[in-house]
Amino acid sequence: MAGYRDHKFSGSRDDYEKRLAGSTTLYVGNLSFHTKEEQIYELFSKCGDIKRVILGLNRITKTPCGFCFIEYYDREDAHNAIRYIGGTRLDERIIRTDWDAGFIEGRQ
């Protein structure tokens, strides 16, 4: 659970840790550039009800660039996604999952 950190987070480290501990949002990395939202929905819905998916986009070309945020309604569902989906394949790539402190507009 120690890997990913949002380096742009404005606020203290403690603050950040606190938000992580209550988060229902995941960061998902190592996606294929061709993976579409609907595939992400299909796979991650297996752990529960998804509130929204935000595809990471390249700042200039506005195309997917290999990561996304997934927000669940329940923390336990998000936790299960980390437990069971992290390290398995989507579009034949091994994806990684981690907690995220919550998506803020502009982080794509």
Partner 1 sequence: MSKRRNWDDDPERPRKRYRNERPTEEEDIEDNLEHLIVKLGDRSTSALEKNLEELVEILDHDVSKSAKSNIIKIICDCVANLPEKTSIYATLVGLLNNKNYHVGGDIIEMLVKCFKDCTKACEWDKSLSYVRFFGDLVNCHVISHGSLMNLFETLVDVTMEDNIPQVRSDFFVYAVLSALPWVGYELCDKKEQDLEQLLNTIDNYMTKRSKVHHTALRVWYSDTPHPQEEYLDCLWSQITKLRSDKWEENHIYRPYINFSKALCEALQHNLPAITIPPHDASYTYPYPKVVFRLFDYTDCPDGPILPGAHSIDRYLIEQNIRWILSTHHRDLKTCSFSLIGLQGGHKFPLEYVLVETILAEIFALPTSKYLEIFYGSLLLKLCKMQPGSLPQVLAQAVEMIFDRLDTMNVACVDRFASWFAYHLSNFQYAWNWDDWSACLTLDPLHPKPKFVRECLLRCMRLSYHQRIAEIVPDGFKILLPDLPEPMNKYAVTDESIKIPGSGLSNQLNELIKNKTPIEEIMKTLDDLDNSTNAGDAEFTPHSLKIDVFLTVLLNAASKSFSHLFSALLKYNQILLSLNNSEDAQRCILNAIYEVWRRHPQLLVVLTDKLLKAGIVDFPAVANWIFSKELANDFTRSYIWEILHSTIRRHIKQVENLQKKLQELKEAKEKSEKAQSTDKDEKDIKEEKEVEPSNEEAIESLEEKVETALSDQKNLFLIVFQHFIMILSEHIQTCEAKGRSFKNHWFRWCIGRLQQVFEHHQHVFKYNSVLESLLFTNDIDAHILIIFRQFCSLQA
CB of 74 to partner 1, least distance (A): 10
Task: Identify each DSSP E strand in 1-108 by its residue range.
Answer: 25-29, 50-57, 64-72, 89-90, 93-94, 96-100
The one segment of 5-13, 22-30, 86-94, 98-106 that binds partner 1 by CB under 8 A: 86-94
Where is 41: in which H helix or E strand?
A: helix 37-44
CB of 26 to partner 1, least distance (A): 14
Residues composing the chain? 108
CB of 73 to partner 1, least distance (A): 9
Q: Which is nearer to partner 1, 38 or 59 (CB)?
A: 38
Q: Which is nearer to partner 1, 39 or 107 (CB)?
A: 39
* φ, ψ dihedrals at 20, nearest 5°: -60, -40
Where is 39: in which H helix or E strand?
A: helix 37-44
Can residue 68 be called a binding residue for partner 1 (CB under 8 A)? Answer: no
